[in-house]
């Protein structure tokens, strides 16, 4: 039996009781009305889909839709760029800095934070004395 799946609604393409010449199920899936996908299923595949769909209480179209939503990863909003030599070097440097930071001495971290806080206070004091708003709350 040939079936047309359009927005996941099953529509028989041939008269009941008449076999297709290929003895395969053809599914046409309209995804967001932008592209049509055709799947040629063997009678065994068709039977498996129908059996499992009925066991789960779904019609075959709903079952296929569920499979698609559960097993396909989401489409990325933008493609992941290839890493060229320059980017690879930058990534390696960032990873090295992260390792250094993770292995840093807690006393060095406390001192660096104290130095940063002192710098921010001094910058704020200069701005306040000149009539400007402080940069750091």
Tell me the pTM. 0.34
Q: CA-to-CA distance for 107 and 127, rounded, in angstroms?
A: 30
The per-residue pLDDT for range 72-127, each reduced to its tens digit, is 877 766 777 778 888 889 999 999 998 888 777 888 889 989 999 999 999 999 99
Q: CA-to-CA distance for 46 and 111, rounded, in angstroms?
A: 69
């Amino acid at each position: 039996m040939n079936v047309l799946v359009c927005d996941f609604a099953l529509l028989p393409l041939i008269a009941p009781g008449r076999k297709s010449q290929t003895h395969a199920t053809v599914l046409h899936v309209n995804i967001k009305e932008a592209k049509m996908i055709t799947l040629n299923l063997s009678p065994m595949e068709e039977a498996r889909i129908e059996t499992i769909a009925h066991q789960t209480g779904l019609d075959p179209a709903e079952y296929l839709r569920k499979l698609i939503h559960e097993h396909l990863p989401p489409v990325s909003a933008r493609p992941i760029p290839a890493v060229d030599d320059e980017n690879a070097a930058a990534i390696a440097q960032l990873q090295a800095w992260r390792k250094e930071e993770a292995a840093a001495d807690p006393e060095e971290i406390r001192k660096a934070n104290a130095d940063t806080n002192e710098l921010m206070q001094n910058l704020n004091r200069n701005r306040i004395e000149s009539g400007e708003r402080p940069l750091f709350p």
